[in-house]
Amino acid sequence: MDSGSNHQACCDEIGFPYVCDLAPDSSQASLENSLRQLAIESENYTEKARQHGAVLFRNTGGETAADFDAMVKCFNLPNFPYHKSLSNAVRVEMTERVFSANEAPSDARIYLHHEMAQTPLFPSKLFFFCEQPAASGGATPICRSDRLVAKLEQELPRFVQTCAEKGLRYTHTMPDEDDPLSGMGRSWRSTFRADSREACEVNMAELGYHGVWNSDGSLTSTTPVLTGVKNLEDGRGVFFNQLIAAYSGFASDGESPDAAITFGDGKKLPADMVMQACQLAEELAIDIQWQVGQMAIVDNYVTMHGRRSFSGPRKILASLIA
């Protein structure tokens, strides 16, 4: 049962996110019925996610990680396992395809970004599922990246052109062991799937990274030149990067944001233009205010996402699609 409307914020002309009620209300929600409908309409919902940027499913009847796993499987899409990714975040795996969205402390804000766009390997789509909403806060902001590019081309055309032509490089210091108290605390051992410095260097080189070892055992790594602006097959341009998140939150305490991200040629980003891009993205963002059992599919090429700070327990699960 598609509502095709947006009850999270003001509607726009095509609905963002597109909302699908799998039952008339929560009292009639049935996981069995949801699984049946998702399997039948999976291609349609995937296309809706590409067209609208995201689809929010309500009244799913799902309650657990296993339920979420079953719903994701209905789409018959290839899994992108967390342990094979280059994600900076520490996550807890619950099934072969389901893990915690992020283990960062509740007071940490996660800024808008395309998932893993700061690496050469990234998923095409993401599923999110609410097992337990926070007592307060904890919304997932989402932003249509094609709309952001359109705004930036109007207000900062030279900046968009430079991002597109030069690309971006990201620099991040990875600890020797996973640090779950950091939103970006995944170790170099886990990230590059290596049990020694020598093995890590080999794996980094294959991916185009270079790095410097620090006295505390951590590794400061820099990516190859990655996309700043991507053109989709349907002609839309998207701000496919992690510029906002990197500039706003990647740098270590006391460091300049310039230590976390540069243009592909190593030159600094213009701070005023970055701040304007951050502001525009926030103006375009819509918060998903989670309720138990809700699931969302986000097209990672079209839509950025983040996380608001929160209080109380919060369990948002994720699954990635190759």
Q: Torsions phi, psi of 275, nearest 5?
A: -65, -35
CA nearest to 141, candidates 284, 270, 299, 19: 284
Residue range 229-255: mean pLDDT, rounded: 92
Evaluate whether residue 60 is within a structural domain: yes
Confidence of residue 178 (pLDDT cuts 50, 70, 90): very high
198 within a domain of the structure (yes/no): yes
Shared domain for 104 and 207, answered yes or no, is no
pLDDT in tens, 9-67: 434 556 899 999 999 999 999 999 999 999 999 999 999 999 999 999 999 999 999 99
CA gyration radius, the chain: 19
**Each residue of 108-139: pLDDT tens digit?**
999 999 999 999 999 999 999 999 999 999 99
Q: Is residue 4 part of a domain?
A: no
Contact 321, 77 (CB under 8 A): yes
pLDDT at residue 207 tops 90: yes
Task: Specify if 124 maps to a domain.
Answer: yes
Residue 36 lies in a domain: yes
Co-location of 269 and 297 in the same domain: no
What is the structure's pLDDT at 251? Answer: 77
Give the model's pLDDT for residue 11.
41
Q: What is the pLDDT, as a whole number, of residue 14?
A: 61
Considering the domain architecture, whether residues 151 and 139 belong to the same structural domain is answered as no
133 and 28 both lie in a single domain: yes
* N-terminal to C-terminal alpha carbon distance within the chain: 27
Within this chain, do residues 215 and 241 fall inside the same structural domain, yes or no?
yes
With cut-offs at 50, 70 and 90, classify the pLDDT of residue 8.
very low
pLDDT of residue 83: 87
Total domains in the fold of the chain: 2
Please tell me whether residues 46 and 167 are part of one structural domain. no
**Domain span at residue 130?**
18-144+286-321
Domain identity same for 108 and 186: no
The CATH number of residue 271's host domain is 3.60.130.10
